Amino acid sequence: LLIRSVGTDGDRLPHTGMMSGTEAGDPVPSAALSSPDADNLMLMFGRQAPVRVRLDLDVGFDGEATSHNVVGEFDGSENLDQRILLGAHLDSWDLGTGAVDDGAGVALVLAAAKLNADLETRPRHPVRVVLYANEEQGVYGGKAYAKLHEADLANHLVGAESDLGADRIYRFKSLVLPGAEAVIELLATHLKKLGIERELAEPAGGGADVGQMRKLGLPVIDLDQDAVRYFDLHHTANDTLDKVNPRNLQQNLAAWATLVYVTANSTVEFGPVAPTE
Amino acid sequence: LLIRSVGTDGDRLPHTGMMSGTEAGDPVPSAALSSPDADNLMLMFGRQAPVRVRLDLDVGFDGEATSHNVVGEFDGSENLDQRILLGAHLDSWDLGTGAVDDGAGVALVLAAAKLNADLETRPRHPVRVVLYANEEQGVYGGKAYAKLHEADLANHLVGAESDLGADRIYRFKSLVLPGAEAVIELLATHLKKLGIERELAEPAGGGADVGQMRKLGLPVIDLDQDAVRYFDLHHTANDTLDKVNPRNLQQNLAAWATLVYVTANSTVEFGPVAPTE
């Protein structure tokens, strides 16, 4: 299977990914072509002569190995049981260095937690940061965390994940009980100062990893970021630190620090919400 | 020798080139790093640990071979001896397909000649297009043409070359005798309609290949194009056809067709100008 890269750029550095399948013989050997190379191949198909493509693929499945989620937490000043759950993932696709997917997310949730931990008075609730292992090959870290903490759902107040680059946050969504609406409105008031609008038409999803807990009933908040550049960078050789715009990252972090501050100081129950598939 | 690519982009596709030298032992093995990779290396140098770089270079000099300039010409309607000399080069750097350097130039000078050849009445003077061989490794085609036609200088009216991409022409320069000023002014009047200004502070240079004839005394005109993107594309793997903007190419071609029409229908002598080194 040879596909046109799903990136929108004109670089000869294709967006790549993984092929999966459940039938016998799946997955088929697969590769992605950059847009300029796909254009060139299409031009060749338009001619009368036969077209021959030689594939030299150095990929495959080398068997299972153990990797680890990295979990850190600071205590709340008044509540020791119900924690805010912040997530991002440690692994990255191999062509670049993973600065955008998901190094930036790791930096954002860690920095948001630290800014709150360093306050003179710590927030009421504990804040937990989970840096998930092996998101890329099938959300293994997120699924393992949810399985391990299934009986522990009530000890998680609300969750949020950063895994779509490092550009500006432009809106946020929530999936919480009606009784938490006043806190979400307070959050909306603060985020509006950063140019962030509340989205009412769609519920939050929680992201790939934290979303595994949402399926069990964890309430979640999504900080949605501008992902226009995302598919030109992540899973390509161009996913490097220079692609992280410091000014955009600052706005993004301000939103995350605000989210943690408002939720971790709240006195309401956000969930549980309805479990889903 | 390991250098930072001279491109201005953030792609991990470096601008590359050639190392030359005249001393014994020259040239030294050399390579260029893309900006993101050079940034990364500089960060590593800032740490205390030693830095090791492994170079795997598949380049070198494989000996001489014969290649050929390709020359085409159509007769003038009144003058059979003094031709307009239009130039571009056929070879390209090996990482891309050479659409920008210098496929676009080849297309531009060929199309400008053809538009004039297809007129109901052909221009007074002959128009010659020379597609030079092996510009990239040392202007070999241009030097060979100048050597072959040294005694033939008077049979060339004026020269011009396209070898800086495919974007918009924004100004033009000339190097001609004062007696040809009225024709240059007429050209300026027409080019102004395309948004092109005349540059009076600098003389035209004629380009790498046609410039070899300029050194002997050939008058030349330069159509200068916007080269902001040029070093991000030429001599990189990104030098592919999708980088040629059709609208910019149209304006560029209109300028070239105008240059050919005005000069090939003129009745003045443009040169010879003073020979230079």
Q: Which two tokens stand for residue A267?
A: 């006195």
Distance from the A111 Cα atom to the nearest Cα atom in chain B, whole angstroms: 22
- Name the pTM for this structure: 0.90
Q: Which residue of B has its CA nearest to A11?
A: B238
CA angle A269-A153-A222, nearest 5°? 65
Mean pLDDT in residue range B88-99:
95
Q: Do A10 and B243 touch (CB under 8 A)?
A: yes
CA angle B230-A97-A128, nearest 5°? 135
Parallel/antiparallel/unpaired status of strands A220-225 and A169-175: antiparallel
A228-257 pLDDT, tens digit per residue, is 999 999 999 999 999 999 999 999 999 999
Q: Does A13 touch chain B (CB under 8 A)?
A: yes
Radius of gyration of chain B (CA): 21
Phi/psi for A232 (5° steps) reads -85, -10
Query: A245: exposed, middle or buried (C-beta count within 10 Å: 0-12, 13-18, 19+)?
Result: middle
A38-62 pLDDT, tens digit per residue, is 999 999 999 989 999 999 888 777 8
Q: Which residue of A has its CA nearest to B39?
A: A242
Q: From the candidates A238, A239, A243, which should be mutated to test the interface with B, based on the most B CB atoms within 10 A?
A: A238
The shortest CB-CB distance from A35 to any of B11, B35, B242 is to: B242
Q: Do A10 and B40 touch (CB under 8 A)?
A: no
B153-196 pLDDT, tens digit per residue, is 999 999 999 999 999 999 999 999 999 999 999 999 999 999 99
ipTM above 0.90, yes or no: no
Alpha helices of chain A — where are they, by DSSP H? Answer: 35-45, 104-117, 140-148, 181-192, 211-214, 230-233, 246-264
